[in-house]
Amino acid sequence: MDKHTQTRWAEQFRRFAALECPQDPLYVAICQAVAEQPELLALMVHAPATQAKPNLLLAALHERVLAGIKHPLAGYYPSVGGTRLPDEELPALLQDFARSQAAELTIHMQTRGTQTNEIGRCAILWPALQQIATMNGKPDLALFDLGSSAGLNLGVDAYHYRYLTHDASFCLGADPQPQRPSIDCRLLGELLLPAAGRWRLSHRLGADPAPIDIYDAAATRWLAACLWPHDLVRAQRLQQALTQARQSQHALQQADDCLALLEAWLRKLPAQVQPVLFNSWVLAYFEPAALAEFRQRVASLQRQYGLIWLSAEAPALRPSGLALPNLARNATASTLWTLQWADGDATRQVALAWSHPHGAWLQWLGLQPTTAAD
Ligand SMILES: C[S@@+](CC[C@H](N)C(=O)[O-])C[C@H]1O[C@@H](n2cnc3c(N)ncnc32)[C@H](O)[C@@H]1O
């Protein structure tokens, strides 16, 4: 690695420590240590351009720790029971650990991407599905999760949700049980849902160009490694959701063109079922031209099959023509949930909710007046 590239990477790690992970003291200390060690910075040259980010190296190191490598560095990682706070010994231990794991780290940098599957988002998906079930009077929903990763959001009806306001709480979803994922979500304002009779997911399918095999220990360990080591709540509910997914066995398919798979699936659905296309934190992976084509193809499926599109993405990826609704929080770090459906030849679209990217809070908007994008 030449001097210029080294300086650039060192700067990126320092920036990551300052801006991206200040809530995780271990990651701040590791990023600062990496920035000072050319040998560690050199690992970044193995990553393809699309994945070359500090969090890829952080995940690669974390994976080795979760794999059970016996080394004093593990003592800093809360995710494996470590309680040691970052100290002056950490940089040397990190270097020693990276040397001992150089072969595996290099393979991770060459072949992996940071990939998560966040069921916290189901705290918004659940009420969104209830809303959809009342729109056309079809209580049987068919959920197609595009970019489903390990398919854990397909289990949305099997998780327990607790919504917390400043002075009260209420629950939705499945009843609480010791091994059942339980998701807490702070409610900003009210969650005004139409009274729905019983709705259910009669059909579900996940599709992803690179699905995670939930029966492959290395693959699911990588999912866990992409979480930050201090966040034991997310780590625990990921493991619970994986266990539940292995029992439920919802269908998950590899597809390079997920919309082609969706169309084939829609053709076979019974008429009384309401199909729902769902994507969360997926559209950022599309190039602009591919995204424009994707939107056109979805609009066509909406007209042809009555498909309702629920999209949970960064606000910049909202449907064109949809005004940005007011937000009680910082918009740049938030997810906008939108609904789109066909109304004759026109497309109706509405902003349904704002949320934290992982579902830690929800600002419900409901079916406010729609804008038409003819
Ligand atoms: C940030 S993850 C989100 C996973 C999941 N939707 C969630 O909310 O936890 C992005 C996912 O999008 C998938 N993806 C990337 N490009 C895609 C494409 N062209 N079509 C569908 N999915 C794609 C990735 O493989 C990855 O699993």
Task: Indicate if ligand 1 lies below 6 Å from the C-beta of 121.
Answer: yes
Pairing type for strands 274-280 and 252-254 reads unpaired
Nearest residue by C-alpha to atom 13 in ligand 1: 147
Distance 281 CA to ligand 1 centre (A): 7
Please state, in angstroms and as integers, the Cα–Cα distance from residue 14 to each residue in 31, 42, 109, 170, following that order. Answer: 6, 15, 19, 42
Q: Kindly state the average pLDDT of the residues 65-93.
A: 98
Task: Indicate if ligand 1 lies below 6 Å from the C-beta of 170.
Answer: no
Q: What percent of the chain has pLDDT over 90?
A: 85
Distance CA 280, CA 286 (A): 13
pLDDT-based confidence at residue 373 (cuts at 50, 70, 90): very low
pLDDT-based confidence at residue 369 (cuts at 50, 70, 90): low
Whole-number pLDDT of residue 331: 56
Task: Indicate if ligand 1 lies below 6 Å from the C-beta of 147.
Answer: yes
Nearest residue by C-alpha to atom 14 in ligand 1: 147
DSSP-derived secondary structure for 85-153: PP-TTHHHHHHHHHHHTHHHHHHHHHH-------GGGHHHHHHHHHHHHHHSS--EEEEEEET-TTTGG
Distance CA 266, CA 257 (A): 15
Residue 244 corresponds to which tokens in the numbers above?
């539940």
Distance of CA 215 to the CA centre of its chain: 20
114-150, pLDDT tens digit by residue?
889 999 999 999 999 999 999 988 999 999 999 999 9
215-240, pLDDT tens digit by residue?
999 999 999 999 999 999 999 999 99
pLDDT-based confidence at residue 1 (cuts at 50, 70, 90): confident
The total of other beta-carbon atoms located within 10 Å of residue 304's CB is 12
Q: Angle at Cα 82 formed by Cα 76 and Cα 87, nearest 5°?
A: 30
Residue 352 has pLDDT above 70, yes or no: yes
pLDDT-based confidence at residue 259 (cuts at 50, 70, 90): very high
Task: Indicate if ligand 1 lies below 6 Å from the C-beta of 93.
Answer: no
Nearest residue by C-alpha to atom 25 in ligand 1: 210
Q: Kindly state the average pLDDT of the residues 237-261.
A: 97
Nearest residue by C-alpha to atom 7 in ligand 1: 117
Measure the CA dihedral 349/355/356/361, to 10°.
-170
Task: Indicate if ligand 1 lies below 6 Å from the C-beta of 118.
Answer: yes
Count the helices and strands in the chain (H runs, E runs).
11, 12
Task: Indicate if ligand 1 lies below 6 Å from the C-beta of 282.
Answer: yes
Distance 198 CA to ligand 1 centre (A): 30
Whole-number pLDDT of residue 374: 39
Can you tell me which atom of ligand 1 is nearest the CA of 286? 19
280-310, pLDDT tens digit by residue?
999 999 999 999 999 999 999 999 999 999 9
Distance 268 CA to ligand 1 centre (A): 24
Q: Kindly state the average pLDDT of the residues 309-326.
A: 93
In 3D, which of 118, 146, 117, 144 has the Cα closest to residue 219?
Answer: 117
Residue 371 has pLDDT above 80, yes or no: no
Residue 370 has pLDDT above 90, yes or no: no
Cite the beta strand spans of the chain per DSSP E. Answer: 140-146, 160-164, 169-173, 182-187, 200-208, 252-254, 274-280, 308-313, 335-343, 346-355, 361-364, 371-372
Of 114, 118, 122, 282, the one to substitute when testing ligand 1's pocket (max ligand atoms within 8 A of C-beta) is: 282
- Average pLDDT score, the chain: 94
Nearest residue by C-alpha to atom 15 in ligand 1: 285
Task: Indicate if ligand 1 lies below 6 Å from the C-beta of 28.
Answer: no
Can you tell me which atom of ligand 1 is nearest the CA of 118? 9
Task: Indicate if ligand 1 lies below 6 Å from the C-beta of 211.
Answer: no
Of 117, 253, 285, 286, the one to substitute when testing ligand 1's pocket (max ligand atoms within 8 A of C-beta) is: 285
Task: Indicate if ligand 1 lies below 6 Å from the C-beta of 157.
Answer: no
